[in-house]
Amino acid sequence: MADVIVPNGGVSRRGFVVGSTLAAVGVATMPALARIGVHLGAGRMKVGVIGCGGRGTGAAANILEASPDVEIWALSDVLPERVASCRSGLAGLDTDQADRAKVSEDRCYSGFDSYKKLLEHKEIDIIILATPPGFRPAQFEAAVKAGKHVFVEKPVGVDPVGVRRVMAAGEEAKAKGLCIVAGTQRRHEICYLEAMKRVGAGMIGKPVSASCYWNQGGLWMNPRQPEWSDMEWQLRNWLYFTWLSGDHIVEQHVHNLDVINWATGSRPVSCWAMGGRQSRTSGAYGHVYDHFAVQYEYEDGFNLTSFCRQIDGCDSRVEEVIRGTHGVLVTSSGRAEIRGEKAWKSSTKNNNPYVQEHVALVSAIQKSTPVNETKNVAESTMTAVMGRMAAYTGKTVTWDHVMKSTLDLTPATMEFGPLAVEAVAMPGRTSLV
């Protein structure tokens, strides 16, 4: 799990509900919601977890905390020990939550096609999708086709082809009345919601530029073992392979980029970038970069400068700065303030957004008020992808280009065995596809 997780803010399932998300969605009576209603009448909603690593286990715990009306029903992961670890971790929760997470052995699946077996359970209502990002487009598409409501972690893909698959599946989910909530938890965090309300009210004037940052030290790496195939080694070190993570600009920095897209109500039209690999030069770290700097251009002259870095011994900074004609908004997890003519600082007790996003999902299902966050998270993922493409190639990349690009990083076969590692991208030499 690459994200820095904030502490539990103590908000109960009856606490703050993300009104701005649900208020924007109309009430509809749809077959998928009617099906859920039948399950609710018969008992708790059943949750299937696809991806049982740290984030998947954490998300399962979050949804159990979010509502007493759910239970973890089935688990799947490529690696069987991760399924076992998830079961063990959930068994260690508070008694009430652990009692709702007793998954029988016959509903635990492993292997590359394990998610398909899990999705065959018609009684499952909600899918938690927390596999490495490279797997998410196909799995999200399959979950929607199976008629499931989905909590999908960010980012939702690693390349233009995958992100466009997610966009299309999101439209299918909308037509079916399915609820989709994404792991862009800042959109469910009180201080951010308060800040965006004030931006919308004009408290900083017209936004004209922004900077955003996710600069921190290095992350974990699992040394290769003799018995691991190429595929297994890459899966166990998925952060360091672009086909799995999208590189850290996509896997992690997408949070900050999402905040800027949220504040502007838009997405960039073009970008150019620089980046490289200065610290993590060993082959043990795959082929990804350890730093990026991207200049994004939006419509109406708004521009964003984005920085992300994972290098030990450097200053850390994780925040967003939005400059308007009458003030500056500064946000980070647990903090939001406006500096300028109409100074303001969030003083409301913050919530745990990792729980709140599941409160929003379960509440939307129970109230038959479909919520669909696919478009926002897909556009923010594509924003990060185009930044990486610009840095890898040294070329200016436009939104129009990525929406037509044929770049697809998915391996030809999904099986344990040989899998060549792509060369480290070299600006000026790596082709823009």
For residues 278-284, average pLDDT: 97
What pLDDT score was predicted for residue 11?
Answer: 29
Gap between the Cα atoms of 397 and 372, Å rounded? 28
Strands (E), 156-311: 180-182, 207-216, 270-276, 291-297, 303-310
Which CATH superfamily, name and number, covers 207-324+380-402? Answer: Dihydrodipicolinate Reductase; domain 2 (3.30.360.10)
Query: Per the structure block, which two tokens stand in for 93?
Result: 């929760």
Helix (H) or strand (E) holding 197: helix 190-200
For residues 387-410, average pLDDT: 98
Residue 24 — pLDDT band, cuts 50, 70, 90? very low
What backbone torsions phi and psi does residue 55 show, to the nearest 5 degrees? Answer: -70, -40
- 410 by Cβ neighbours in 10 Å (0-12 / 13-18 / 19+) ranks as middle
For the segment 57-112, what is each residue's pLDDT rounded down to a tens digit? 999 999 999 999 999 999 999 999 999 999 999 999 999 999 999 999 999 999 99
What pLDDT score was predicted for residue 43?
Answer: 83
On whether the CB atoms of residues 324 and 207 are closer than 8 A, the answer is yes
For residues 216-231, average pLDDT: 98
Residue 42 — pLDDT band, cuts 50, 70, 90? low
Q: Please report, rounded to a whole number, the percentage of residues in the chain having pLDDT higher than 90.
A: 90
The amino acid present at 409, given as its one-letter code, is: L
Query: Per the structure block, which two tokens stand in for 316?
Result: 């850390």
For the segment 235-270, what is each residue's pLDDT rounded down to a tens digit? 999 999 999 999 999 999 999 999 999 999 999 999
What pLDDT score was predicted for residue 17?
Answer: 29
Domain ranges of the chain: 19-186+355-371, 207-324+380-402
For residues 343-353, average pLDDT: 96
CATH of 19-186+355-371, one of 3.40.50.720, 3.30.390.50, 3.90.79.10, 1.10.260.40: 3.40.50.720
Helix (H) or strand (E) holding 385: helix 374-393
Gap between the Cα atoms of 320 and 254, Å rounded? 12
